[in-house]
Amino acid sequence: MARVKLEHVWKKYTNEVAAVKDFNLDIQDKEFVVFVGPSGCGKTTTLRMIAGLEDISSGDLYIGERRVNDVAPKDRDIAMVFQNYALYPHMSVYQNMAFALKLRKTPKDEIDKRVREAARILDISHLLDRKPKALSGGQRQRVALGRAIVREPQVFLMDEPLSNLDAKLRVQMRAEIRKLHQSIQTTFIYVTHDQTEAMTMGDRIVVMRDGVIQQADTPQRVYSHPVNMFVAGFIGSPAMNFLRGELAEEGGALYFRAPEINIRLPEGRYEAIRAANVIGKPVVLGIRPEDLHNDEVFLQTYPEATLQTHVEVVEHMGSELYLHVNVGGQTVVARVNARFDVRPGTNLSLALDLNKIHVFDAETEAAIPHPTQG
């Protein structure tokens, strides 16, 4: 069990390109942290630096109380599971799980004990004599996890371990990995580009872009209080809507204005907006598709936050509709209940839930903090 701490960690390649820039993160013992971001954002490089498969250009890395920058990977007490973590084709499940221990000259009795215990945790004891060919995709993935568990590491490092699985199996394995974390109570660091995986698995998620941490927080807070437009747009599906316009002050009230849009902002946001000094400047108003409503209750509650839109596309998702609407030349997606009969080509009033709006500085793309944000 161990805490992992990265202090001002940089990764620079020989051509001076920085893949990871001033990375600071304190991962608590037994925490499940997910690194998420688009490809090339530096998440895998960071994981590989923790593993020792990449040199750290500058900064300090601690596992437990020990600074491990110069400690060989095998002595860092970590285990890794990768996306393409294959099984040895001619070995049984037992031999596959035992192989890495055998290479490390672990005594036979100890190997046997660890393999059987890992098999018990993963519920694959009945598969120990089988060859990989006779296993399903999910079973293979569990064996791959078992190969990491038998090492009894302080930290598990997982690099997109579910990317090769089909969608159904991925959902199942997400739960399995989460369960595994609860049962073995070890620090997990998990890399994915899939924001759903990040949201559902992590105690904390670290959103990265261009080698820089954008936000590190609980999934709920990252979703509710994104610190900038990148995080706001990356987390959530469909993505958050961004409306470009300006903030204007009139009679002591603040308005967001854009062509065909005039929204009076809630008073609770005034202080932060004034402090950000963006009145009269271009801003971006963010609203998630589920925070746009077409039912009467909302339209009456927020008459000054209603958009008159034109429906362009309707996507039927079963219990919900995704409405692609146009307002003043800007496209917005709304997620509404499927009981509403909305057709393309019609006009539709949509009310914004003013408690859920986000305001971003158009120049810096940084969020102007919400008062509930601590």
Partner 1 sequence: MSDWWNGVIAHWGAALHIPLAVERLSPNDADLPVGEWRFEGGTWRLRLDAEYCVVCSRSDLSDATRAALRWTLDMARRSSRQSWQSWLRERVQLRLQDGDGKRGVEIGFSDVTPSLPAGYLVWLHPWSPSGQAASGTHHPAGRPSVADVANALAAGSWLGWLDPGRTVPYTTGLVYCTLNALDTALDDMLPDGEPDTVSAFRELQRVKQWVSALLVQLEADLYFPARAVVGASIRHAGDVEWAIQSLRDTWRVASMPHHAERVLGWGEAAVEHLLLALSGHSRSQFRKMVELRTMEPPVELSGELLETLLGVIRADLNVSEAARLLYLHRNTLLNRIERIRQHTGYDIRHFADALALWLLYVLESVPGASDA
72/297 with CB nearer partner 1:
72
Q: Which distant-in-sequence residues (6+ apart) come within 8 Å of 203 by Cβ?
A: 31, 32, 33, 218
C-alpha–C-alpha distance, residues 204 and 151, integer Å = 25
Q: CB of 12: closest distance to partner 1 in angstroms?
A: 8
Q: Pick from 1, 24, 53, 253: which binds partner 1 (CB under 8 A)?
A: 53
Considering only CA atoms, which of 225, 288, 285 is closest in space to residue 254? Answer: 285
Counting contacts by CB under 8 A, is residue 89 touching partner 1? yes
Strand partners, 271: none
Stretch that binds partner 1, among 68-76, 240-248, 273-281, 310-318 (CB under 8 A): 68-76
Residue 228 or 294 with smaller CB distance to partner 1? 228
Q: Among 129-137, 261-269, 325-333, 337-345, which window interacts with partner 1 (CB under 8 A)?
A: 129-137
Q: Is 163 in the site for partner 1 (CB under 8 A)?
A: no
What does the CA dihedral 26, 28, 29, 31 come to, rounded to 10 degrees?
A: -120
Choosing from 106, 164, 196, 326, the residue that interacts with partner 1 (CB under 8 A) is 164
Residue 83, number of CB atoms within 10 A of its CB? 15
Interior angle at CA 247, CA 245 and CA 248, nearest 5: 125
72 binds partner 1 (CB under 8 A): yes
Tokens describing residue 340: 């509403």
Residues constituting the chain: 374
> With binding defined as CB under 8 A, does residue 165 bind partner 1?
yes
Q: How far is the CB of 168 from partner 1 (least distance, A)?
A: 14
Determine if 168 is a binding residue for partner 1 (CB under 8 A).
no
- Distance between CA atoms of residues 308 and 192, nearest Å: 38
The footprint of partner 1 (CB under 8 A) covers 11-17, 40, 45, 48, 51-55, 57, 72-75, 79-82, 84-91, 99-100, 103, 131-133, 137, 140, 147-148, 164-165, 209-210
